[in-house]
Amino acid sequence: MRSAVKIFNEICHRKLNVAVAGIPKTVDNDIGIIDRSFGFQTAVEMAQQPINAAHVEAESAVNGIGLVKLMGRSTGHIPLHATLSSRDVDCCLIPENEFYLEGKGGLFEFLDARLKENGHAVLVVAEGAGQDMIPRTDAQKEERDESGNPVFLDVGGWLKSELKKWWARDHPDELFTVKYIDPTYMIRAVPANATDNLYCTLLVHSAIHGVMAGYTGFVCGPINGNYAYIPISTFYKIMGRSHQL
């Protein structure tokens, strides 16, 4: 959308008869005012496969834990919906809710109880969860990606290491297994399912109708169940603060 704003402004400057229309796109479904972005349903559906695999691996081992890291930098919609859809997940960690490892009510206490009760557990974590708990060097604290966002460390790998340290400390003579699965690119690099295909078609048709009606510099998206046209510059500003809405 940042690029679309620049293109729109340049077209206006040159007074060209070119329309610019945008469609909100993110599989994370984390745009505050938009009901749903396309790709989200497909991502949730595909996330079931690694969760099922983690459950099988955990159930097949003594004191086994299946750990799955799913997409979600600032919001945990994919991990949350995948967890609710699965029925096999014991704990889901998302950026919206802080968590801690040690002490009463901590993650270790919860997993200890689940392992004693069931002999295995499945843990799903969003990529943005617990980032403030992972040790970083000064250089890592300042690192940014191409879009200017802070570079996240691998919370799954860190959590796997912490789980092993905890078990070795508190249960030194008992077997323990952690199976870590990171299916990020398996989820991203798949064809859209039928629901997302239909939804994207409706978005595109609505955008074309707006252009043919003479509008430009807008974003088409569903708000409260209705397809609305939002000025593209306004929408870009909203996206910039959407994680705080």
- What's the token pair of residue 63? 């004191």
Q: What's the pLDDT tens digit per position in 185-216?
A: 899 889 999 999 999 999 999 999 989 999 89
Taken in order 4, 31, 81, 111, the sign of the CA dihedral is positive
| Whether residue 180 sits in one domain with residue 131 | yes
Long-range contacts of 89-92 (CB under 8 A, 24+ apart): 89/51, 89/122, 89/123, 89/124, 90/114, 90/118, 90/121, 90/122, 90/123, 91/121, 91/122, 91/123, 91/124, 92/123, 92/124, 92/125
Whether residue 181 sits in one domain with residue 114: yes
Mean of per-residue pLDDT scores for the chain? 90
Mean pLDDT of the 87-106 span: 95
Catalytic residues: 28
Report the pLDDT value the prediction gives residue 240, as an integer from 0 to 100: 53
Q: Both 180 and 231 in a single domain?
A: no
Question: Residue 66 belongs to a domain with what CATH number?
Answer: 3.40.50.460
Judged by DSSP in three states, 235 sits in helix
CA distances from 64 to 57, 89, 100, 162, 189 (A): 7, 13, 21, 15, 29
Q: Across the chain, where does the E strand assignment appear?
A: 21-22, 64-70, 91-93, 120-126, 177-181, 218-223, 226-231
CB 43 within 8 A of CB 187: yes
pLDDT at 244 over 70: no
pLDDT at 33 over 50: yes
Query: Are 61 and 181 members of one domain?
Result: yes
Specify the pLDDT at position 237: 66
Examine the domain organization and report whether 50 and 157 are in the same domain: yes
**Spatial distance between the Cα atoms of 69 and 158, rounded to a whole number of angstroms:** 11
Domain range spanning residue 23? 1-38+192-243
Q: Which two tokens stand for residue 206?
A: 């609505």
Q: pLDDT (tens digit, 9 = 90+) per residue, 37-85?
A: 889 999 999 999 999 999 999 999 999 999 999 999 889 999 999 999 9
Task: Report whether pLDDT(25) > 90.
Answer: no
Q: What is the pLDDT of residue 243?
A: 36
| pLDDT given at position 236 | 67
- Same-domain pairing of 94 and 160: yes
Do 183 and 141 share a structural domain? yes
Same domain, 134 and 82: yes
pLDDT of residue 45: 95
**181/37: higher pLDDT:** 181
CA 127 to chain CA mean position, Å: 7
CATH of the domain at 212: 3.40.50.450
* 48 and 128 together in one domain: yes
Domain tally for the chain? Answer: 2
pLDDT for the residue numbered 151: 86
- Asked whether residue 73 falls in the same domain as residue 153, the answer is yes
26 and 63 inside one domain: no
168/64 same-domain check? yes
User: Residues 218-237: pLDDT tens digits?
Assistant: 988 888 877 788 888 777 66
